[in-house]
């Protein structure tokens, strides 16, 4: 017998996003298990921020689906989503942080 699969925290299926004629995401599919860290890497314009924003009420996908802890934030009314501590999931377990290019020398990388 194998171990039970870990619950999925973040899921995307065939996720695409276009801005006018520019395709930022093209059928992205991924699953991130609960308790795991996920950090997209890539050059400017690769779609990292877009990938993170779509499973929240911040940005809608052109096609495909995305969810956090089973919730599809675009299906939650905007006024209700604002009451949740983690933009729609209600569990407070998600967040995002963009890097700060000015790291104070007296702080460690984890403190910044």
Q: Evaluate whether 27 touches 8 at the Cβ level (below 8 Å).
A: no
Look at residue 86 in the predicted model and tell me its pLDDT. 47
Residue 4 confidence (pLDDT): 73
pLDDT at 95: 56
Q: How many CB atoms lie within 10 A of CB 12?
A: 20
What per-residue confidence (pLDDT) applies to 90? Answer: 43
Q: Where are the domains of the chain?
A: 1-112
pLDDT tens-digit map of 10-34: 899 999 999 999 999 999 999 999 8
Better-predicted residue by pLDDT, 10 or 98: 10
Contacts of 60 (CB under 8 A, 6+ apart): 54, 74
For 68-88, what is the mean pLDDT? Answer: 63
**Which CATH number is 1-112 given?**
3.40.50.300
For the chain, the residue count is: 112
């Amino acid at each position: 017998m194998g171990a039970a699969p870990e619950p999925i925290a973040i899921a995307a299926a065939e996720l695409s996003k276009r801005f006018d004629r520019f395709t930022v995401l093209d059928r992205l599919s991924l699953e991130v298990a609960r308790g795991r860290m996920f950090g997209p890497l890539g050059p400017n314009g690769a779609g990292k921020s877009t990938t993170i924003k779509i499973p929240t009420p911040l940005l809608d996908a052109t096609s495909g689906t995305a969810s956090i802890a089973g919730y599809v934030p675009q299906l939650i009314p905007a006024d209700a989503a604002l009451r949740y501590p983690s933009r729609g999931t209600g569990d407070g377990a998600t967040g995002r942080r963009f890097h700060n290019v000015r790291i104070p020398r007296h702080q460690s990388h984890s403190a910044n």
